[in-house]
Amino acid sequence: MRSSLLLFTLLGLCLLATSLKICAFNVRSFGEAKANNRRVMALLVKIIARCDLCLVQEVRDSKGTAIPTLVRGLNSLDKSHSYSHVDSKRLGRNAYKEQYVYIYRTDMLHVQERFQYESPMEANETDVFSRDPFIVWFHSPNTLVKDFILVGQHTCPKNAMREMDELYTVFQAVLRKWKTENVMFLGDLNAACGYVTIKGWGSVRLRSDPKFHWLIGDKEDTTVREKTHCAYDRIVVRGKELLSGIVANSAQPFNFKREFQLTEEEALEVSDHYPVEVDLKPSHRYLLHHEL
């Protein structure tokens, strides 16, 4: 009995150690100023180094230097891994532009294809999305689920519910293009507090369709400020295979303010959002190889 319990504990620790962590982090106006702030960058590197794959949002850097600086910091911190990135074009309807950037460990993940979504528009209509989703197909040799699609999205707060509903149409486009339901939506969806209504949720197909699983609950807090308690940032999963490949109860915000013992002012220099994260289970073959 005792040996069985010990084996179960060791297997649990092995699973925790070798799972693949996926994160989404709105870094709030990440550009040249933050990249030149050594203290902020040191914290950002520590936060993102916890992730094997991280969607960074609100990249606002017309010179294109901030993300390479961040990736260099990650590669300097952790010599056991090699980091790279794949980024969207600069997105926005007017002079205000943002990019989505996926930073990932190249020794653990491969980019198969990428897809900058563009909303189909009828005559005299405007695009539903302020910033169209950036979609990437990743291959992960060492996880139970080998191939999965990430759909990064940062909604416009005032239009959050309509944009979240339109993500259902995005899913249909992904399904047609790549013939897989293993799709994860992640990012700052502004899916809480004053930007959503209880009545309105019923018309959001991504929410009302039970085949989409919202892993970050409505009662979570993904905001840094003490005066707010809102689950703005979410992870939503579709596909039985992908859902079964997720480590139970691993989806959560990462409170870096508490973890690194920062004041609210210090934490806000990094971002006003906490990252959200979820872990994928390692493959049985990968576990067996490392146990041996």
Contact 76, 49 (CB under 8 A): no
Would residue 154 show up in a list of annotated catalytic residues for this protein?
yes
Q: Please list, residue by residue across 174-204, b when 16 or more beta carbons sit within 10 angstroms of its beta carbon and e when fewer do.
A: beeebebbbbbbbbbbbbbeebbeeeebeeb
Taking CA atoms, 123 is separated from 119, 127, 133, in Å, by 13, 11, 22
Catalytic residue among 32, 58, 81, 98: 98
Neighbours of 289 (CB within 10 A): 12
Q: Where are the alpha helices (DSSP H) in the chain?
A: 2-18, 32-35, 38-48, 66-77, 160-178, 198-201, 205-208, 240-244, 256-259, 264-270, 284-291
Ramachandran angles phi, psi of 168, nearest 5°: -65, -40
In the 8-state DSSP scheme, what is residue 273? B
Nearest to 238, CA basis, from 205, 213, 208: 213
Catalytic residue among 85, 154, 166, 273: 154
Contact 186, 24 (CB under 8 A): yes
In this structure, what is the dihedral angle of CA atoms 48, 182, 149, 21, given to the nearest 10 degrees? Answer: 10
Amino acid present at 94 = N
Cα(175)–Cα(116) distance, integer angstroms = 15
In this structure, what is the dihedral angle of CA atoms 142, 148, 153, 159, given to the nearest 10 degrees? Answer: -140
The catalytic site residues sit at 98, 154
